[in-house]
Amino acid sequence: MAKLLTSSTVPVIRSPADGGAIIVNSITSSSPNKHVFTLALKPETCLEGDGTFKQWFYFEVQNVTVGSELEFMIVDAGDSTFNDWTNYKTCMSTDRVTWSRIKETKFEDGVLTWKVTTPSNLLSFSYFPPYSLEKQIDLVHTTTQTNHCTHKVLGKSEDGNDLHALVFDKHLDNSLPHY
């Protein structure tokens, strides 16, 4: 029977401040190297429909031993905003730069499940590869250096980050690099 892990060596799930989103219901183990993560999608505020959006997930798993067997279950995936998970494959990264799809992803009875044997003791999982705030800021700076657009800050996000707008010259030369 699985037991709830409580020691300091228990795997930890962390939602990165830059776009992280997941709710941890439980982490259980049937052995020191076999862990089951029961998760839920984190509802996000949006301006459409009923005012919430529930689809995106992005989190890191820390404190796992290389070679451990991990199983993840998002138990409310069937209640997501767009709940057709047919043929969907979860994204995984060991360095947050290179992402791969997990073939062993399945969706049954409203639950999205995937299993991995850990190639690293720190892993990231997401709905699709995240586009970090740092990459966004780099793009804004690179684009404004072309002198073919102006930059404006429209306000702040819920997290206090700038909301950028780039206004492009309507006579933009299409031979210029596109980003």
List pLDDT tens digits, range 20-40.
899 999 999 988 899 999 999
Distance CA 97, CA 9 (A): 27
Report whether 61 contacts 38 (CB < 8 A).
no
Distance CA 21, CA 60 (A): 10
Q: H or E segment at 143?
A: helix 133-144
Q: How many CB atoms lie within 10 A of CB 46?
A: 12
Distance CA 33, CA 68 (A): 4
List pLDDT tens digits, range 158-178.
778 888 999 887 766 667 666
pTM exceeds 0.85? no
List pLDDT tens digits, range 126-157.
999 988 888 888 999 998 888 888 899 999 98
Token look-up 């941890």 returns: 24
List pLDDT tens digits, range 45-99.
776 667 778 899 999 999 999 999 999 999 999 999 887 899 999 999 999 899 9
Q: How many CB atoms lie within 10 A of CB 51?
A: 10
pLDDT at 10: 81
Query: Per residue, what are the HEC states of 91-142?
Result: EEECCCCCCEECCCEEEECCEEEEEEECCCCEEEEECCCCCCHHHHHHHHHH
* % of the chain surpassing 70 pLDDT: 88
Domains of the chain (ranges; CATH) run 3-126 (2.60.40.3120), 133-168 (no CATH)
List pLDDT tens digits, range 110-127.
999 999 999 999 999 999
Q: How many CB atoms lie within 10 A of CB 73?
A: 18
